[in-house]
Chains A and B, each alone.
Chain A
Amino acid sequence: MKKPVYIFSDGELHRKDNTLYFEGENGRKFIPVENTSEIMIFGEVNLNKRFLEFISQSEIILHFFNHYGYYVGSFYPREHLNSGYMILKQAENYIDEKKRLYIAQKFVEGAYRNIRQVLKYYQNRGKNLDDIIYAIERLGDLIVGTSDVNELMAIEGNIREYYYKSFDEILGNSDFEFDVRSKRPPKNSLNVLISFGNSLMYTTVLSEVYKTHLDPRIGYLHSTNFRRFTLNLDVSEIFKPIVVDRVIFTVVGKSIIKKDDFDGDAEGLVLKDKAKMAFIEEYEDKLKTTIKHRTLGNNVSYRRLIRLELYKLEKHLMGEEEYQPFVAQW
Chain B
Amino acid sequence: MYEEVTGSLMQSYNICKRQVWLMAHQIIPDQEHPYIEMGRLIDDISYDRDRKKLNFENVVIDLVRNDNGNLLVGEVKKSSKAEKSAKMQLLFYLYKLKQNGIVAKGQLFFPEERKKVDVYLTSEAELEIINAMKDITDIMSKDKAPSFEKIPYCKNCGYKEFCLS
Residues of A that sit less than 8 Å from B by CB:
2, 81-86, 211, 213, 295-296, 304, 307-309, 311-312, 314-315, 318-320
Q: Which A residue sits closest to B31, measured CB to CB? A: A211
**With A295-B164, A311-B162: A83-B145 Cβ-Cβ less than 8 Å:** no
Further pairs besides A86-B25, A86-B26, A311-B162: 8, Cβ < 8 Å = A81-B31, A83-B28, A211-B30, A213-B27, A295-B164, A296-B161, A296-B164, A319-B144
Chain B residues with CB below 8 A from A83, complex form: 25-28
Q: Is residue B123 within 8 Å, beta carbon to beta carbon, of the partner chain?
A: no
B165 x A296 contact (CB < 8 A)? yes
B32 x A2 contact (CB < 8 A)? yes
Cβ of A275 to closest chain B Cβ, rounded Å: 32
Number of interface residues of B (CB under 8 A): 15
Point out the residue from A211, A213, A296, A307 that lies within 8 Å of B26, measured CB to CB. A213
A318 x B144 contact (CB < 8 A)? yes
Point out the residue from A85, A308, A318 that lies within 8 Å of B161, measured CB to CB. A308
Q: How far is the CA of A85 from the CA of B141 in the complex (A)?
A: 12
Give the residues from 101 to 149 in chain B that come closer than 8 angstroms, CB to CB, to chain A: 144-145, 147
A311 x B165 contact (CB < 8 A)? yes
Q: How far is the CA of A172 from the CA of B41 in the complex (A)?
A: 54
Point out the residue from B28, B145, B160 that lies within 8 Å of A318, measured CB to CB. B145
Chain B residues with CB below 8 A from A86, complex form: 25-27
Give the residues from 5 to 35 in chain B that come closer than 8 angstroms, CB to CB, to chain A: 25-28, 30-32
Chain A residues with CB below 8 A from B144, complex form: 318-320
